[in-house]
Amino acid sequence: MENREIKNCTIENIDNIYEIDKTSSSYNWKKNMFIDELKNKNSFFKVLYINDIIVGYIIYHIIIDEAEILNIVIDNKYKRQAFGKYLLEQALKTLSEKNIKTIFLEVGEKNIPAINLYLQFGFKEYNKRINYYKNKETAILMKKIL
């Protein structure tokens, strides 16, 4: 039977997380950026394990009654098995329990899988940032009111 667990990211996970990010996302973070998240007291850095294997992670910040989703990545080998949906759902549950009122995020306008995921959870576009990413891709700014 599948054993599914979400745990806090630790320094020992960072090499694994960095590899997943490098191979499975187009918006790669430097290793130091992940380490900084571990030190940031506003940061929630959650790792999804399936049968003790890391399949993905989500990072979000909470400041007072607002949150921002910084990243969610599922390893290519495990995409389209509803793990992204599960991680986001669990994060939204935590945010709701903490009485967060608004959740923000940015997503590349060509990133259809992520946009679809966020739309499915009721995020709505409220603005755009032209040429926002390194590759000049426009960012769509989305938010969800809880």
Ligand X SMILES: CC(C)(COP(=O)(O)OP(=O)(O)OC[C@H]1O[C@@H](n2cnc3c(N)ncnc32)[C@H](O)[C@@H]1OP(=O)(O)O)[C@@H](O)C(=O)NCCC(=O)NCCS
Query: Which residues form the catalytic set?
Result: 106, 118
Nearest-approach distance from CB 53 to ligand X, in angstroms: 14
Helices (H), the chain: 14-24, 31-39, 83-97, 112-120
Cα–Cα distance for residue pair 96/58, rounded to 1 Å: 16
Give the CA diameter of the chain: 46
- Point out which residues bind ligand X (CB under 6 A): 24-25, 27, 71-74, 79-85, 107, 111-114, 116-117, 120
Judged on CB neighbours under 10 Å (0-12, 13-18, 19+), 115 is middle
Q: Smaller CB distance to ligand X: residue 92 or 114?
A: 114
Q: Which residue has the tokens 């918006």?
A: 27
Q: Which residue's Cβ has the minimum distance to ligand X?
A: 84
State in angstroms the smallest separation of the CB of 95 from ligand X. 16
For ligand X, give the closer residue by CB, 22 or 101. Answer: 22
Shortest reach from residue 26's CB to ligand X, in Å: 6
Closer CB to ligand X, 90 or 94, in the complex: 90
Closest CA to 25 of 68, 75, 80: 75
